Amino acid sequence: MDIDDRPIRKGDAASQLAAEDLAPYSQDELTDRVALLEAEIARVKAHSDKASAHRAAADAFFSKKTD
């Protein structure tokens, strides 16, 4: 995927990170940055899973048919 093909909302933290020049960073700093970003990805995925479960529960509750 080309960098220009990624969906990025303007003004959010992810778009700011994507636009940042990585050249000044050392190998250790880049390794630390990757670890931080992986932790953030895990946090976002956990929140997404929680939201999906909440949505599924709400859908199940509201789609129940009464006899």
Q: pLDDT tens for residues 2-58?
A: 556 666 567 788 888 989 999 999 999 999 999 999 999 999 999 999 999 999 999
Quote the number of domains for the chain.
Answer: 1
pLDDT at 66 over 90: no
Q: Is residue 2 part of a domain?
A: no
pLDDT at 64: 73
Q: Which amino acid is at 35?
A: A
Owning domain of residue 30: 26-61
State the Cα–Cα distance between residues 35 and 39, nearest whole angstrom. Answer: 6
pLDDT at 14: 86
pLDDT at 49: 96
Q: DSSP letters along 3-16, please?
A: GGGS---TTSHHHH
Q: Is residue 40 part of a domain?
A: yes
Q: Is residue 7 part of a domain?
A: no
Q: Is residue 19 part of a domain?
A: no
Q: Is residue 35 part of a domain?
A: yes
Q: Is residue 54 part of a domain?
A: yes
